[in-house]
Amino acid sequence: MSNKIAEVVILIPINKPILGNEEKEAVLKVLESGALTNASAEGGFFVKTFEKDLASFMGAKDAVVVNSGTAALQVSLLAMNIKPGDEVIVPSFTFAATAGAVLLVGAKPVFVDIDLNTYNMDPEAFRRAITSRTKAVIPVDLYGLPAKIDEIREYAERYGIAIIEDACQAQGASYNGRMAGTLGDVGCLSFYPGKVMTTGEGGAIITNDQELADKLRMIRTHGQTKGYDSKLLGGNFRMPEIEAAIGIVQLRKLSKFLEARAKNARILIEKLNEADLILPQVPENTIHNWYLFTVRFANEKIREIIRNRLLKEGIGATVYYPTPVHKLPYYISLGYGKIELPNTEMASKTVLSLPVNPLIEEKDLEKTSKIIFEVLSSIS
Ligand SMILES: Cc1ncc(COP(=O)(O)O)c(C=O)c1O
């Protein structure tokens, strides 16, 4: 990024936490209680309440909250006994945490390509990557659009592979009436600021399997049930009470946040309908949560001109992700750099996400689309 762009003031951020007095009051309540955390497997009052509310929102039997989306992935992998020597199939067009969690449990991430219409894992690429060592697959619901779960499930069931859904970007999205996060054997959510709702840092694991939920709760607190009785290998993945208290309030507001995103996305689709770009594609029976509204341009040069111009005008257009995970320095050092994933490479060069968060007003969307039309016509 040039210095000039780094200096501009982003008036219209891509995403931003939306917090009010209710969150302040919730935090104060925890501070006044003095009970900031609870190291038992079941957790403290606010953790337990947040878990109950979240499971109900998700239409799932259980939700186990942890201290990040990355922790949700790692704890899920541990609970499913994924270990050194095992392979876990992941997309490369995602945030590094998806693959990083696999490495953190000592297993090997195997990167596969995406489908360019949805930017999600190509089920056929998944099938081709399966070996006798494949123990799990992590489909990512990228940008908030559920992965192609029917095809993925068909192959996963055929070969006895566990599905850990990375729904860290997709809370509130759904497929066939089922929430993103409940489409795999377990689903992981993130409450990082800027996600559709936040707890500061935080994450959750969604499951309908009660036995697995018990195990997840133990792993998040050193494999303990009550205290100093480690029965499993675990760690400290606990969500603090302050975060859980914020989460309870944010969850109550989530439907309103999602409605505002959907409205903004609808407006932007209408405005950009005639523009020379590829709009987000939402398959049938699918509800996008519009965490990110991502368009694609003919080539990288055009994408960069438009991105720079939008940034100059204070619009926080952002590329998710400019470098596929297998091409990040650490992954190159592991020998992944030479893998060929043409759709992933193409997407990373041409996608651009535009702000549609609940704080965006119609005039901001008007400004965004006007700039895009202007730049496209000046270079055509
Ligand atoms: C696809 C994906 N997976 C995993 C994560 C990790 O979540 P967290 O940042 O809460 O650890 C994120 C969020 O940033 C994400 O976008």
For ligand 1, which residues put their CB under 6 angstroms from it?
A: 68-70, 94-95, 97-98, 140, 166, 168-169, 190, 192, 203
Which of 250, 277, 306 marks a domain boundary?
Answer: 250
pLDDT at 1 over 50: no
Q: What is the CATH number of the domain that holds 353?
A: 3.90.1150.10
Instruction: Please check whether residues 126 and 208 belong to one and the same domain.
Output: yes
Instruction: Please check whether residues 265 and 277 belong to one and the same domain.
Output: yes
Instruction: Please check whether residues 213 and 273 belong to one and the same domain.
Output: no
Q: What is the CATH number of the domain that holds 100?
A: 3.40.640.10
97 CA distance to ligand 1 middle (Å):
6
Instruction: Please check whether residues 114 and 260 belong to one and the same domain.
Output: no
Instruction: Please check whether residues 230 and 332 belong to one and the same domain.
Output: no
Which of 250, 275, 310 marks a domain boundary?
Answer: 250
- Return all residues near 56 (Cβ < 8 A) that are at least 6 apart: none
Instruction: Give the whole-angstrom CA distance, residue 44 versus residue 170.
Output: 27
Instruction: Please check whether residues 223 and 266 belong to one and the same domain.
Output: no
For a mutational test of ligand 1's pocket, the pick from 190, 198, 320, i.e. the residue with the most ligand atoms closer than 8 A to its C-beta, is 190
Instruction: Give the whole-angstrom CA distance, residue 175 versus residue 227.
Output: 40
Written in H, E and C, the secondary structure of 61-83 is CEEEEECCHHHHHHHHHHHCCCC
For a mutational test of ligand 1's pocket, the pick from 73, 94, 95, 237, i.e. the residue with the most ligand atoms closer than 8 A to its C-beta, is 95
Over the chain, what is the mean pLDDT?
96
Burial class (CB in 10 A: 0-12, 13-18, 19+), 298: middle
Instruction: Give the whole-angstrom CA distance, residue 322 versus residue 328.
Output: 10
For a mutational test of ligand 1's pocket, the pick from 14, 68, 70, i.e. the residue with the most ligand atoms closer than 8 A to its C-beta, is 70
Q: Which residue minimizes the CA distance to atom 4 of ligand 1?
A: 97
Instruction: Please check whether residues 242 and 260 belong to one and the same domain.
Output: no
pLDDT at 308 over 70: yes
Instruction: Please check whether residues 81 and 201 belong to one and the same domain.
Output: yes
69 CA distance to ligand 1 middle (Å):
5
Instruction: Give the whole-angstrom CA distance, residue 325 versus residue 209.
Output: 31
Q: What percent of the chain has pLDDT over 70?
A: 98
Ligand 1 atom with the smallest distance to the CA of 97 is 4
Tens digits of residue pLDDT in 335-369: 999 999 999 999 999 999 999 999 999 999 999 99
pLDDT at 226 over 90: no
List the beta bridge partners of residue 136. 88, 162
Which of 204, 232, 250 marks a domain boundary?
Answer: 250
Instruction: Give the whole-angstrom CA distance, residue 319 versus residue 353.
Output: 6
pLDDT for 246: 98
pLDDT band (50, 70, 90) for residue 321: very high
Instruction: Please check whether residues 111 and 216 belong to one and the same domain.
Output: yes
pLDDT for 83: 98
pLDDT for 2: 44
Q: What is the pTM of this model?
A: 0.97
Instruction: Please check whether residues 227 and 278 belong to one and the same domain.
Output: no
- CA-only gyration radius of the chain, Å: 21
- Number of structural domains (the chain) is 2
Instruction: Please check whether residues 75 and 137 belong to one and the same domain.
Output: yes
Domain that holds residue 53: 21-250
Instruction: Please check whether residues 11 and 32 belong to one and the same domain.
Output: no
Tens digits of residue pLDDT in 13-54: 999 999 999 999 999 999 999 999 999 999 999 999 999 999
